[in-house]
Amino acid sequence: MVPDEKELDTTLRFNLDIVLPNTCIRIAENTTIADIPSEGYSLNLFDINLNSVIAESSNPTKKRYGFVSFQQKDSEGKYIITIEYIYSDSPASKAGLEISDKLLKVDGKLVTDMSFDEFNQALDNKDSITLVFVHANSDVENTVIMNKEIVR
């Protein structure tokens, strides 16, 4: 149940986290409930094999890019994809991606126009992708080519 806007205490501040085995992904930090949109969020768990997080012996030969991303819509209905987690010694870490980086393009296609399913298909259907991204607090675009590798 969501309280009526008139009843919201705007002095109370919260963190909004998604907790996975061995990982906590912070979606919002030090914000009021009224400031958290009720819709427009997606979490890309495609690149994580949850079974392998829980039991390392599960599917040890599956190739991945080695990052977790979070997708949300901005006020104009455009998608924003943010890197939320990077596995050490993964293609993503070797390519220089960092937590909080914003993805701009995947294989030349703007992510602002990609649905969650289209983004996941772009990652799933190829053994190599070209990403354009910016680091947090930067406007400098970086381009990397990543090949899938076995990520443990």
**pLDDT digit string (tens) for 16-56?**
666 665 556 666 667 766 666 655 555 555 444 333 333 33
Domain housing 115 = 39-150
pLDDT at 124 (0 to 100): 81
- Cβ-Cβ contacts under 8 Å for 89 (sequence gap 6 or more): 151
At residue 115's C-alpha, the angle toward residues 76 and 34, to 5°, is 45
pTM: 0.62
User: Which CATH number covers residue 133?
Assistant: 2.30.42.10
> Residue 65 has which token pair?
């890019």
Q: Could you give the number of structural domains in the chain?
A: 1
pLDDT at 51 (0 to 100): 31
Q: Establish if 131 belongs to a structural domain.
A: yes
Mean pLDDT for the chain? 74
pLDDT at 102 (0 to 100): 93
